[in-house]
């Protein structure tokens, strides 16, 4: 092979590698194959809520957010998740908050074993313009908020 052919072949390989790397960086936002879904809430109240938050490469994304019977986002969206925890004897509460589309959202995972009774509750509070609605998560809802670090 001549130097020109080698150079062209190398150049094409480099373009292919560059394309692959750029797709692997931006694909998570468009396709989003989450590594770890950390909170899912399904609520069938009069104004239903469906929400899923995941972690991918140390960042948090809102995978799904349907509120007041309408979709709040078209594709997975990066969010700044702020986490806090409260612990006392036999009680653990983990919460995380974020804002999107002028909505303030608080995720809550409460677990208590006080008085010999086990109580567990997952809730989502959605606040907008001085009004807040609380949704009790039910069915296939779950939380892994206890597993993530504070204030990501």
- Does residue 151 lie within any of the structural domains? no
* Same domain? 37 vs 18: no
Q: Both 48 and 108 in a single domain?
A: yes
In a domain? residue 152: no
Closest to 81 (Cα-Cα) out of 61, 110, 57: 61
Q: 10 lies in which domain range?
A: 1-31
Same domain, 8 and 75: no
Number of domains in the chain: 2
Rounded to two decimals, what is the model's pTM? 0.74
Instruction: Please list the pLDDT of the chain residue by residue as tens digits (152 residues).
Output: 554 554 455 544 444 444 343 434 444 344 456 778 999 999 987 678 999 999 988 899 999 999 887 788 888 899 999 999 999 999 999 999 999 988 999 999 999 998 889 999 999 999 998 899 999 999 899 999 999 875 44
What would the two tokens of residue 18 be? 């560059």
How far is the C-alpha of 142 from the C-alpha of 24, rounded, in Å? 29
97 and 84 together in one domain: yes
Verify that 106 and 52 share a domain, yes or no: yes
Same-domain status, 14 and 43:
no
């Amino acid at each position: 092979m001549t130097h020109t052919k080698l150079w062209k072949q190398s150049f094409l390989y480099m373009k292919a590698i560059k394309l692959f790397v750029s797709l692997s960086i931006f694909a998570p936002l468009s396709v989003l194959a989450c590594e770890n879904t950390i909170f899912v809430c399904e609520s069938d109240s009069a104004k239903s809520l469906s929400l899923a938050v995941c972690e991918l490469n140390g960042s948090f994304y809102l995978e799904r957010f349907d509120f007041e019977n309408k979709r709040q986002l078209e594709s997975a969206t990066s969010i700044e998740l702020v986490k806090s925890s409260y612990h006392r004897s036999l009680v653990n509460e983990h919460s995380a908050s974020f804002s999107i589309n002028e909505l303030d959202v608080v995720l809550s995972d409460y677990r208590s074993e006080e008085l010999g009774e086990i109580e567990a509750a997952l809730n989502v509070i959605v606040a907008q313009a001085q009004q807040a609605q609380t949704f009790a998560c039910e069915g296939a809802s779950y939380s892994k908020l206890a597993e993530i670090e504070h204030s990501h």
